[in-house]
Amino acid sequence: MDYPLQTALVEYHPEPADFGYFLEGRNRIYNYYTFYGYPSLFADGVDLWPISTWRPFINSRVNQPSPFTLLMTGNYSASTNTGTITASYQNDSTAAITARVYFVITEDSLYHLDPNGHAWHNNLARDMLPDQNGELVTITPGQVIDISRNFTIDASWNEDKCYIVTWIQADAPSRNVYQAGEVKVMDLVGIEENTLTRVPQSYITLLNNPCSSSNIRFALNVRQGTSYRIEIFDAIGRKIKQYNGMTSNEKEILSCDLSHLQHNRTNAGVYFYRFTSSVHQANGKVIVR
């Protein structure tokens, strides 16, 4: 597939006789898009047809900048098949944006021979969290909102093949998708989330942004003797680096080097950081050039 790290796909089977059918998926297609033909590709709310139009549209669309940055975090217990997912959307534009935030659980590598010969199904929608209506939000310039959902992986699904997809999308008439992302459910195993209050970003400031991967400089402004953790994530939410420390002064400068990660080369692009101490939490965006 073209642009595997720049696209988030959801496959719906909206007819009751379809393999993988569920009512929320049907309602999503018929009530939101008000049109359905098989097969259809909906991109930014536009039903693209014929199939020859799909690749040119995607090629042009992925080059358009997004007004949002997205960080996905959460946790999952394989023993109870339950977890929590949080999507943090930051408005990087200069205008307030009103749109809906959606979450859906998808599953890959499902075999079922359809009448049209389609046998293997990926990105198949399994459950929408909590439903197909999403949550209407208004995000002002520079504002970050966190939206969390509890979820359960059904015993009949393969948890190793399940993902959680989130996106923020305008209502009609444009139905523009501003940003989207996904995370593999099993990547959330063993992650513990602290219930901390988000604080102003002044507790941690990125001094050079954009920056080089070998010299990312943070200014910390917390009480002397504070234990802290700084985590760096890539654009799809994978943690690539973690720093742990304790401040020896009330104000300190910390330099981070991402240029020599084990089994991973840091490319230019957008990354995210999360700062956590015993009483503070903050996050933000890092642009590596």
Q: How confident is the model at residue 3 (pLDDT cuts 50, 70, 90)?
A: low
Contact 44, 53 (CB under 8 A): no
Helix (H, G, I), strand (E, B) or coil at 17: coil
- The CA distances from residue 134 to 80, 128, 149, 164, in Å, are 25, 9, 11, 14
61-65, 148-152, 176-180: range with lowest mean pLDDT:
61-65
Tens of pLDDT, residue by residue over 232-273, are 988 777 888 888 888 887 778 888 887 766 545 567 788 888
Beta strand 177-184 with 162-169 is: antiparallel
Confidence of residue 26 (pLDDT cuts 50, 70, 90): confident
Q: What is the pLDDT of residue 102?
A: 96
Residue 155, classed as helix, strand or coil, is coil
Helices and strands per DSSP (H, E), number in the chain:
2, 19
CA–CA dist 226, 74 (Å, integer): 25
pLDDT at 15: 73
Q: What phi, psi does 56 have (nearest 5°)?
A: -60, -40
Query: Residue 76: pLDDT above 90?
Result: yes
In the chain the domains, ranked by start, together with CATH numbers, are 23-188 (2.60.40.10), 201-288 (2.60.40.1930)
Q: In this model, does residue 16 exceed pLDDT 80?
A: no
The model's pLDDT over 200-226, given as tens digits with 9 standing for 90+, comes to 445 788 878 788 878 888 888 777 778
CA distance to 16, 136, 167, 179, 270, per residue, from 235 (Å): 36, 24, 14, 11, 6
**Could you tell me the pLDDT band of residue 288, with boundaries at 50, 70 and 90?**
confident
21 pLDDT higher than 50: yes
Q: Is the pLDDT of residue 193 over 70?
A: no
